[in-house]
A and B are shown apart, each in its own frame.
Chain A
């Protein structure tokens, strides 16, 4: 089976930097994703890591350490619209296909 842990809730100030951590245990690891989901809306893709290291995309960066089963999502220059749930998801190989498993999500509240 797979297990994904991420904090339930975080708060941060507009303009600041926040790091959302995710730890996972899985077999057949084939990539880690981060999605953003506003309340009542569909998740939208933010980033994908399959090799160790940092991937940067504008104000968002994602880091992966496969040996530690650890990832983080870094959000810089926070804006009010960044208030949302951030989902960490792991993809694992299974019988010729891939099974995605999502964490419960981290609810980020950005305040002025």
Chain B
């Protein structure tokens, strides 16, 4: 158990819908990272938040957005869902934004778009 929690574990929804994935980092960690993992793309970095502020963006679509709240939990919002958005979505946390190299991954949310 990494100490990172993600809800829900599984999500099935239809194309065109909007969903919110939630992540709570390990106690004391200020950084949250979001990743998408699909069979054909591997693990793709989406976005990084540190202490409530966006720090870096990766291959995140405009239909996707994220935020980190004052209690440090984070939410990833996916809208206008397409079949290709079906994937495992992981969040990971680390203590700082730069000096900590080890990330602790949550168990993931499996999103299925039908």
Whether chain B is bound by chain A comes out as yes
List residues of chain A with CB under 8 Å of any chain B CB: 31, 33, 41-45, 48, 50, 87, 89, 91, 94-105
List residues of chain B with CB under 8 Å of any chain A CB: 2, 33, 35, 42-45, 48, 50, 55-56, 58, 90, 97-98, 101-108
Could you say which of A45, A48, A99, A103 contacts B45, with CB atoms under 8 Å apart?
A99
Q: Which residue of chain B lies nearest to A89 when distances are taken between CB atoms in the complex? A: B43
B9 nearest CB across to chain A (Å): 11
B2 nearest CB across to chain A (Å): 7
Inter-chain contacts of B56 with A (CB < 8 A): 94-95, 97-99
CA–CA, A94 to B56, complex, Å?
Answer: 8
- Determine if B101 and A31 form an interchain contact, defined as CB atoms under 8 angstroms apart: yes
CA–CA, A91 to B101, complex, Å?
Answer: 9
CA–CA, A44 to B44, complex, Å?
Answer: 16
Seed contacts A43-B90, A44-B2, A97-B98; 5 additional CB < 8 Å A-B pairs: A31-B101, A33-B102, A43-B105, A44-B105, A100-B45
Inter-chain contacts of B33 with A (CB < 8 A): 100
- Determine if B43 and A102 form an interchain contact, defined as CB atoms under 8 angstroms apart: yes
B46 nearest CB across to chain A (Å): 11
